[in-house]
Amino acid sequence: MAGGDRIYGVFDHQLPAALKKLPFDKHLSLQNVRKVISEADGYQPHLIAPEQGYRRLIDSSLHYFRGPAEASVDAVFSFKLRGAYNMMAKLSREQLERGVICSSAGNHAQGVALSAQRLGCDAVIVMPVTTPEIKWRSVERLGATVVLKGDSYDEAQSYAKQRCEQEGRTFIPPFDHPDVISGQGTIGMEIVRQLQGPLHAIFVPVGGGGLIAGIAAYVKRVRPEVKIIGVEPSDANAMALSLCHGQRVMLEQVGGFADGVAVKVVGEETFRLCRELVDGIVLVSRDAICASIKDMFEEKRSILEPAGALALAGAEAYCKYYGLKGENVVAITSGANMNFDRLRLVTELADVGRKREAVLATFLPEEQGSFKKFAELVGRMNITEFKYRYDCNAKDALVLYSVGIYTDDELKAMVERMESSKLRTVDLTDNDLAKDHLRYFIGGRSEVTDELVYRFIFPERPGALMKFLDAFSPRWNISLFHYRAQGETGANVLVGIQVPPEEFDEFKSRADNLGYEYMSEQNNEIYRLLLRDPKI
């Protein structure tokens, strides 16, 4: 399945014949959940938005679903309130008096905090020190005590569970608990009640699996013909891999762009339900998510967070891939807690994701008139970005640029014009290394011996750079460094280090001990093409 379709995989499963044997009443007493949540101050059943404005995206009728929390400017802009409140509302008065605790870097924290406020109990929220201030301030405003602990979610969770045992509090998990799952499942109940006619599929964003497990368990009981399709980022595909292998799989690395679904391993209970009830998983690219964020803004003037736009991207990719026409589908827009700093990246990638912009590199001979010839070959296509630097030591100059496009044929024709005029042109549109880092380099290619190129994930906190430099410098020379804030808890940093082959094992050991996630880009064709001297 091509990246151009922005659908990377679908894993189909046959629903079990013994569906009726699922302990539905034990896990999902949804009528009780509805009653409990209805008692929450400010709750009202939301409406499924009509499809006007979305027919241009896919040929089927696309409805998008926003829950009560998302619809209210006074709430937490996320479905997480449902599960947290349902679990906490079932606690005894004694448990509520002892208080609750959770670990979260975002939406679950606000859901627990608001639920505690409504139920009159004390709440401690443990968040990583890398959590953006806007997020932990939002939790504080809801009356919870915020504790910033650890550089990662795992460290924050470990501390929260330790403190839970010491203080006798109740730990509120983000997804892997029957009461949390049932709370999220109220979304499925409301979809079924509001859409009485034919419904082909419901598309659900997937992180730990609580939302899709709850929706699937309810919908498959009352409308078994409706497909439940999960949607994950292609670099955070824990559920897809787990369903494919028939057991829970832990990811070594997780992409942080859609941080609301960035989990290394799905829940035990959620996986059990998904394995039985979910029809498939669609994986979408970061570019596709950005395109869906822009689509929602243009149609409804609402800005979704990346995880909140996942289902829209997945629904479009699925319908295009299967040529679905004349069917009703629902996409869950699960959250709108957008980090403002991330909007810059979204705007840069949205047109790429919608295939309205292409990122290219062309090699020009360093001779008079070549630049004008290049401009003539581009023709009437709109150039949206352009970078060029003269290199007196190079035979060819490198031009990095972006062009607005309307059709794939239009782009193909332009590239063919370049190639036929002996101007080598490379399409960088689907290469994340080029879009995240290399498009900002204009110094040309260099002859750097023994250079290793890695991408590190730096925690966004003071001292992260010095910790990195202490591990490698001055032992080895830093030959390349590019960092750009993208509004995430971890910063994507491209690093070049000169390490002789005989010292690689020592370098690897230090990199492992540093504690930062990292990956090699040494064999990335685009790095070798744009930054590496061809003589090396």
Q: For residue 75, give both structure tokens.
A: 């709430």
pLDDT digits (tens, 9 = 90+) for 193-214: 888 889 999 999 999 999 999 9
Residues of the chain with CATH 3.30.70.260: 356-430, 451-530
**If DSSP states are collapsed to H, E and C, what string results for 425-467?**
EEECCCCHHHHHCHHHCCCCCECCCCEEEEEEEEECCCCHHHH
**Which are the contacts of 73, defined by CB distance < 8 A and separation ≥ 6?**
none
pLDDT higher than 70, residue 86: yes
Distant-in-sequence, close-in-space partners of 113: CB < 8 Å, separation ≥ 6: 76, 123, 125, 139, 142, 143, 144
> 0.85 cut: is pTM over it?
no
Q: Which of 80, 135, 355, 435 is catalytic?
A: 80
Q: Do 179 and 86 form a contact (C-beta atoms < 8 A)?
A: yes
**Among 3.30.930.10, 3.30.70.260, 3.20.20.70, 3.40.630.30, what is the CATH number of 356-430?**
3.30.70.260
Q: Let me know if 334 is a catalytic residue.
A: yes
Secondary structure class of 256 (helix, strand, coil)? coil
Q: Where are the alpha helices (DSSP H) in 39-106?
A: 68-71, 80-89, 93-98
More confident site: 34 or 322: 322
pLDDT reading at 134 higher than 90: no
For CATH 3.40.50.1100, the residue range(s) in the chain are 3-16+40-73+178-351, 80-171
Average pLDDT score over residue span 20-41: 38
- What's the rounded Cα separation, in Å, for the pair 17 and 112? 37
Mean pLDDT, to the nearest integer, of 430-451?
A: 75
Fold of 451-530: Alpha-Beta Plaits (3.30.70)
Over the chain, what is the mean pLDDT? 79
- Which pairs count as long-range contacts for 220-224, CB under 8 Å and 24+ apart, including other chains? 220/15, 220/19, 220/277, 221/19, 221/22, 221/24, 222/192, 223/192, 223/199, 224/15, 224/19
State whether residue 531 is helix, strand or coil.
Answer: coil
Q: Is 149 a catalytic residue?
A: no
Half-sphere exposure of 469 (CA within 13 A, CB side): 9
Mean pLDDT value of segment 359-388: 81
Q: How high is the pLDDT of residue 434?
A: 78
Query: Would the pLDDT of 260 be above 70?
Result: yes
- Please determine, for residue 71, whether its predicted confidence score (pLDDT) is greater than 70: no
The closest alpha carbon to 342, from 312, 308, 311, 306, belongs to 306
CB neighbour class for 77 (10 Å; exposed up to 12, middle 13-18, buried from 19): buried
pLDDT band for position 401 (cuts 50, 70, 90): confident
CA–CA separation, 311 vs 280, rounded Å?
13
pLDDT at 239 over 90: yes
The CATH architecture one would assign to domain 3-16+40-73+178-351 is 3-Layer(aba) Sandwich (3.40)
Tell me if the domain spanning 80-171 has CATH number 1.20.1070.10: no
End-to-end Cα spacing for the chain: 35
Q: Does residue 125 have a pLDDT over 90? A: yes
Tell me: pLDDT of 535 over 60. no
Element spanning 529, H or E: helix 525-530
Higher-pLDDT residue of 458 and 267 is: 267
Catalytic residue among 334, 402, 435, 479: 334
What lies within 8 Å, CB to CB, of 53 at 6+ separation is 299, 300
Peptide bond between residue 178 and the one before it cis (omega within 30 degrees of 0)? no
Judge whether residue 231 has pLDDT over 50: yes
Ramachandran category for residue 345: left, alpha or beta (phi over 0 → left; psi -120 to 50 → alpha): alpha
Taking residues 115-133, report their average pLDDT.
89
Is 451 or 152 the better-scoring residue by pLDDT?
451
pLDDT of the residue at 282: 93
99 neighbors 84 (Cβ within 8 angstroms): no
What is the arithmetic mean of pLDDT over 457-472? Answer: 81
pLDDT of residue 480: 83
